[in-house]
Structure 1
Amino acid sequence: MPEDETQPPTRTATRPQSPQTATATASATDSPAPRTAQTASGSAGPAPWVLRLVAVGLVLTALNLRPAITSLGALLEEVRDGLHMSGSLAGVLTSVPPLCFAVFGIMAPRLARRFGPATVVCAGMVAIAAGLVIRPFVGSTAGFLAASALALMGIAVSNILMPVIVKRWFPDRVGSMTGLYSMALALGTALAAAVTVPMTDALGGSWKAGLGIWAVLAAAAVLPWIPLMRDGRGAAGQATAQQHGDAPALRITRSRTAWGLACFFGLQATAAYIAMGWMPQIFRDAGVSAGTAGVLLAVTMAMGVPLAFVIPRVAARMKNQGPIVVFLCACGLVGYAGLYFAPAGGAWAWALLLGIANCAFPLALTMIGMRSRSGAGVVRLSAFAQSTGYLISIPGPLLVGVLYQHSGGWGLPIALMAGLMVPQMVAGILAGRDRTIEDEC
């Protein structure tokens, strides 16, 4: 496997390491492990059937990490009418995902150390299935929000632990397996956006059935993890996590690169959740049918399927990722300009451009892996950038809902979305510079 799929090969050769960094590097699991490597418990590597089962589990889990959000975006108008929500309250609803990701994602590493990552992901899939079954039928806005939070809690912990599982079971195929589950994640996002409205019509036109049916996919994702919960390598997974936890701590808040990554991650997440929550409504208000609006959102989300492979590989070959950041943000600016001036006339073009802009997500994940020399540093940087980033993204969808309700149209909300592309570009350029957090801390 080429080295550029994981860490840049020249990092440790070109920069001297402090004793703390050297200790962290030695204690982390960044070095490629052979296929027959011993685990921490001294046993041989995983059996082939275990690896196949983990791969199936990764794909099914990734497919479930966004439908709870994009299916709601496709039926947001029906849900608002059915639960008598105001535009501001609907904005609160679209802000719940990043809030849950920030709050519950922090719990994931500790839960994984105690119970093992497979057990936690299995429980996450159960939580998603339960939340999706419950939320359409509770009959109140508060109950709908609570059930959505349950599903999003399962998404949050699973989302954080996916890279941990890849590193644990596929240490010599991190790039390819990350690409596999990234593609599945984008596919699930697009699929839910595209078929929720037609599926709702086929189920008798009930938005409750259209939302609840996605629990079936989550229930299917529970199955591969059940035998893995009994895998004798749980101690090895916990030992690996403990190694990361025992590495000398970096004062990561002193790093400009870490803050740049956090802001870039937060602003791209803001754009993504605004798109997932509000884009179908923008098109519907412009005269596009509900079904077509869902497909347009699916086009935006589906751009992540091929680009999840392309962008990380290109970025890993570049010392500075700033040019990619500028290109993605420029696509976003043109897309928002199109939504402002001709939302229906050029709908397909705007959906395509905004889909390219949304691929800042895999770029952010790639830069997280490139901005530290050690595995322990990557873990800490990932936790800081994602938790801080999701906190930054919370007000965006809510503010869009408030502006939409009080301005009576989409002019101001779209102007806000376009304006946020400018600081996203600045933060991305800062994060894309060829340096590591160890240099700055």
Structure 2
Amino acid sequence: MENTSTRRTGQVLLVWGLLVVAANLRASLTGVGPLLDRVQSDLGLAPAVAGLLNTLPLLAFAGLAPLVPGLAARWGAERLLGGALVVLALGVAVRWIPTTAGLFLGTALIGAGIAVGNVLLPSLIRRDFPTRVGLLTSAYATVMGGVAAVASGVAVPIAQAAPGGWRTALGCWVVLALVAVLVWLPQLRTPGPSGSSGPGGPGGPGKPARGGQRLPWSSGLAWAVTAFMGLQSLGFYVIVTWLPQVFQDNGVDPATAGWLLFVFQVIAVLASLAVPRAMRRARDQRGLAAVCSAVLLVGYAGLFAAPGWALLWSAVLGLGGGACLVLALVFIGLRAPDAASAGALSAMAQSVGYLLAAVGPVVFGLLHSLGSGWRAPLLLMVAAAAAQTAVALVAGRGTVLPARGPRPEPAVPAAKSGVSNGR
């Protein structure tokens, strides 16, 4: 009885730890956009240099993601994630230093810390909660998106009211990062549930394996999951970077354009909450993923054809975008037979996906500069959403076999676990 109670307490602490970690994975990034003009003016940055503040973390995600499974195999997933949280907190603190070098060094450290969390959270959920992959993925995506929306909404008011201006608005998130470090400490001292394999390889939670699992580059299904992750990430970062400007150029005042972006993020959070219920009613995720991707396509097409209906298209894009983010993360857990494979698939999907996301806003802006207005860039997003809809029909079903290494543990039977339908 005592062991059961201890185990239950440990799982509760782990869930809280994962959610607090998730709260830190976007907040320090989404607060930059609303303050970018102030940062640029104060530090005398050229527009291209200032744009690196949004691009640098995405490049860190893409570059570091393939390394995470091997590092987790060597040090243990819990220790690696704890170290990443310390790096993230350090990065937010360094960004508070009133110099250009501090701003960019801090941003690079933030990107490195978040990159590790991006890869490890799906595999930790797959390892420790194999019967609740969809539910917990939705929960952490909701927390991540909700805090990110708050961060973008309070950035300007904090900069206006607090001593230190925009530096305080960016640096205040160190408090949340330190809270995450404290909440995660129990995971460094106590092992997780026995009999499972860690995200970096076999050997049990928190125990290093002999080597990391290779990324499944030869798997067509893995590439479908990667393409879905990349295309939905591209859409999200294009929207948060350019949507307010698209609205302003169509007659919306800047303040209203900012609130429309907030509407997009809030509806995305609400949509992410609905995904687990929808998944429980389906045998697989192909139809749901295709429908949600088609909703994005409608949003981009509507923005192209009738840009004056700004509120409607913000809501439609939020509805499709929020659902597709959860589905992209859920695919990582559900398409993998075990946690080690989930870690490898997560690394592959996020390395390529965030590289595509980093390129997307640049290409979108370049098409605007070369053409006449936003029609060509929006047609690009219509094409991207159409491709995502097609890819969803492949990514929503099946299992990615591991590239090499020991035979993975058997997946929990779908009829008993609910893994196949996301419960």
User: Structure 1 length normalisation: TM-score?
Assistant: 0.77
Post-superposition Cα deviations, 1:43-76, rounded to whole Å, max 9, x if no partner, equal 9885444333323222221111111221112223
Partners in 2 of 1:59 and 1:258 — Cα distance? 26
Cross-structure match for 2:270? 306
Partner of 2:23: 63
Q: Report sequence identity in percent.
A: 35
Q: Shift of the alpha carbon at 1:234?
A: 11
User: Do structure 1's residue 199 and structure 2's residue 163 form an aligned pair?
Assistant: no
SS for the counterpart of 1:436 is coil
Inter-CA distance 163–216: structure 2 relative to 1 (3 Å threshold): same
- 1:366 to partner: Cα distance: 2.6
Which one of 63, 68, 77 corresponds to residue 108 of structure 1? 68
The alpha-carbon deviation at position 364 of structure 1 amounts to: 1.9
Residue in 2 aligned with 1:160?
A: 119
Q: Size of the alignment, in residue pairs? A: 398
Show the counterpart of 1:436.
Answer: 399
Do structure 1's residue 50 and structure 2's residue 14 form an aligned pair? no
Contact 2:62 2:354 in 1 (8 A): yes
Quick one: structure 1 residues 130 and 406, their matched pair in 2 at CA, closer, same or farther if it must change by over 3 Å? farther
What does 1:25-424 align with in structure 2 at a 5 Å threshold?
A: 46-135=6-95, 137-140=97-100, 143-171=102-130, 173-203=132-162, 206-231=165-190, 241-243=200-202, 252-286=216-250, 288-315=252-279, 317-319=281-283, 321-340=285-304, 343=307, 345-358=308-321, 359-405=323-369, 407=371, 409-424=373-388
Which string of whole-angstrom CA distances, capped at 9 and with x for unpartnered residues, describes residues 210-236 of structure 1? Answer: 222222222222211234323256998
Residue 315 of structure 1 contacts residue 324 of structure 1 at CA under 8 Å; is this kept in 2? yes
3-state secondary structure, aligned to 1:318:
coil
- Counterpart of 2:265, as a letter, is M
- Inter-partner Cα distance in structure 2 for 1:204 and 1:301: 28
Residue type of the alignment partner of 2:114: I
C-alpha displacement at 1:246, in angstroms?
7.5
Deviations 1:81-126 (A, max 9, x none): 3344444444444332332112222333333333333332232222
Q: 1:440 to 1:157 in 2, by over 3 A?
A: closer
User: Is the 1:270–1:394 Cα contact (8 Å) retained in structure 2?
Assistant: yes
Check 1:143–1:290 CA distance in 2 against 1; reply closer, same or farther (3 A cut).
Answer: farther
Q: What CA deviation, in whole Å up to 9, does each residue of 1:229-285 have, x standing for no partner?
A: 232569988867431867997893333222222112111111111222333343445
What SS does structure 1 have at the residue aligned with 2:345?
helix
Q: Which has the larger displacement, 179-188 or 44-53?
A: 44-53
| Matched-pair contact (CA < 8 Å) for 1:61–1:221 | yes
**Aligned partners of 2:381, 2:372: CA distance in 1, in Å?**
17
**Greater mean deviation of Cα atoms: 143-152 or 229-238:** 229-238
Contact 1:112–1:238, Cα closer than 8 Å, also in 2: no
CA distance in 2, matches of 1:247, 1:110: 6
Matched residues in 1 for 2:280 and 2:340: separation? 19
Indicate how the Cα distance of structure 1 residues 239 and 197 shifts in structure 2: closer, same or farther if over 3 A, else same.
Answer: closer
Shift of 1:198: 2.6
Deviation at 1:208, TM superposition (A): 2.5
SS at match of 1:243: coil
| Change in 2 beyond 3 A, CA 1:282/1:106 | same
User: In structure 2, do the counterparts of structure 1 residues 93 and 177 end up closer, same or farther at CA, with 3 Å as the change threshold?
Assistant: same
1:425 aligns with 2:385: no
Q: Residues of 1 paired with 2:75 and 2:401: CA distance?
A: 31
C-alpha distance in structure 2 between counterparts of 1:175 and 1:341, whole Å: 35
Q: 1:266–1:126: structure 2 CA closer, same or farther, 3 Å change rule?
A: same
The secondary structure found in structure 2 opposite 1:254 is coil
Inter-CA distance 239–165: structure 2 relative to 1 (3 Å threshold): closer
Q: Which runs of 4+ in 1 moved over 6 A?
A: 234-240, 244-251
Q: CA RMSD in A?
A: 3.6
User: 1:315, 1:366 within 8 Å by CA — same for their partners in 2?
Assistant: no
Counterpart residue identity of residue 350, structure 1? W
Distance (whole Å) between structure 2 residues aligned to residue 413 and residue 347 of structure 1: 17
Unaligned runs of 5+ residues in structure 2 are 204-208, 405-423
1:247/1:393 CA distance change after superposition, 3 Å: same
What's the CA shift for 1:382?
3.0
**CA distance in 2 between partners of 1:61 and 1:232 (Å):** 18
Structure 1: runs of 5 or more not aligned:
1-34, 37-42
Which residue pairs with 2:410 in the alignment? none
Structure 1 CA distance, aligned partners of 2:15 and 2:75? 20
